[in-house]
Amino acid sequence: MNYISTRGGAEPLTFSEALLEGLAPDGGLAVPAALPEVDGETLERWRALTYPQLATEVIGLFATDIPREDLARMVAAAYEPFPAEVVPLRRIGEGIELVGLSEGPTLAFKDLAMQFLGQVLEYTLERRGAVLNVLGATSGDTGSAAEHALRGKERIAVFMLSPQGRMSAFQRAQMFSLNDPHIHNIAIDGVFDDCQNLVKQLAGDLQFKREHSLGAVNSINLARITAQVVYYFWAWLRATDAGGWTELSFTVPSGNFGNILSGFYARQMGLPIRRLVLATNENNVLDEFFRTGIYRPRGAAETLATSSPSMDISKASNLERFIFELAGRDAARVLAAWRELEGGSFDFSSEQPRFAEEFGLVSGTSTHADRLATIRSVHEASGDIIDPHTADGVKVAREYVEPGVPMLVLETAKPQKFAETIREAIGVDLELSPELGEMMAAPQHVVEMANDARALQDYIASSALRQVVQ
């Protein structure tokens, strides 16, 4: 399978080439030249597989240039740190099940893709005799998941941007406590969108990108998206009976549109998904878009700091991949939309009815008060304690539950990562394991920097890997 750019100005790439490229040279994102299709017979054959076995099958549909035995070995290594079930499902009442995506090393859903990405990046770089300097931006969980997946890998250095003062104390400790010469934490004076803009600006400087071997692990990296497709298939197979063709709905807390894009791809591949419900917090640019068809990102001053900080995003990178499909894979229309966006917005309101009718996409917004009430009600009803982002998902999911249609909500993180909000909601102080307590108390390693592309370039130029370690 080959990969093309959403903006039509790049040569087709293999999976391994797209893996290392990150942002396409024309500024677009890599997408499959054609999505693979999965029929009912294949789904039933997959029902008995373990999670690593299923991941090998699903990712293998995308990574066709990697020998299957090598892929299976990497997938097995990626999910070795997880419990045997990897992704458990549990009911919380009201026709809702949680899909447990936070069983990995950093207690967040990003681990499921990042652990695989770490394996496949190392594999690809070894075969090319190359190095990669990963430049990423995080609003909370991506950074720690990437750093824990990539630390100790000789051919990879990580430069992770985060917004100063915008993450939880746990999230900061999980990143900044790592003491690795190839892990560089950079706190930017701004919001997540400023960090993301810097990543795109440096990736768009093709000379700098090539000279310093820059790559990406944000969800602009298609390998992240394809690895996340797996758990939609897994959840459907676990929540349905053998031989049935049951439609399910999924609710996905979303800021950068990567997690729900994976569900969109799964649905386009043939998985029987009735609705994909997008849940936002107060930074509800995506909810506004799916309700109106008008995409109007907000500036840094209008991007609110909320109690679900990983979703404090106003410019969703992965929306471009959806627009590409909405526009009939017409790269010229995508390019025109992003040129229009330079004026502050673009308008697809004439296409808005298709969002739900053709693609099953609907949306809703949750507030701080909603989060607290949802955490409280779930705890009272089931004894479960959910994190604030998952609470956003449950709140919006309740608005779309239909009789006879199971609703699955993607859990995003363990509640321990957001102890202050849990305490506010239910008056409980969550205990940390001795290991996590040590992490919280450990010295932190971070460089503070202005929102300045030149300063960032200078820092990377002085610290980047330049040759293969012998």
Under a CB-based contact definition with an 8 Å cutoff, are residues 361 and 34 in contact? no
Q: Across-strand partners of 161?
A: 137, 186
| Residue carrying structure tokens 């949306």 | 363
Q: What is the dihedral of CA 39, 43, 45, 47, to 10 degrees?
A: 180
Interhelix angle 141-150/169-176, nearest 10 degrees: 20
Q: Is 200 a catalytic site residue?
A: no
Helices (H) and strands (E) in the chain — how many of each?
Answer: 20, 15
Cβ of 89: how many Cβ atoms within 10 Å? 15
**Angle, alpha carbons 236-18-99 (nearest 5°):** 20
Interhelix angle 331-341/319-326, nearest 10 degrees: 130
H/E stretch holding 267 reads helix 258-269
Q: Catalytic one among 110, 153, 209, 395?
A: 110
Distance CA 241, CA 31 (A): 32
| Residue carrying structure tokens 């290991």 | 435
Distance CA 342, CA 430 (A): 45
Task: Compute CA distances 231 → 34, 112, 186, 235, 265, whole Å.
Answer: 21, 9, 31, 6, 12
Phi, psi (5° rounding) for residue 303? Answer: -85, 115
DSSP 106: T
Q: Across-strand partners of 156?
A: 132
Q: What is the residue type of 164?
A: Q
Distance CA 174, CA 168 (A): 10
Q: Is the dihedral of CA 393, 293, 301, 145 positive or negative?
A: positive
Token readout for 162 is 């985060």
Q: Is the dihedral of CA 124, 126, 132, 136 positive or negative?
A: positive
Distance CA 258, CA 141 (A): 13
Task: Compute CA distances 232 → 57, 127, 190, 249, whole Å.
Answer: 13, 31, 34, 10
Give the active site residues: 110
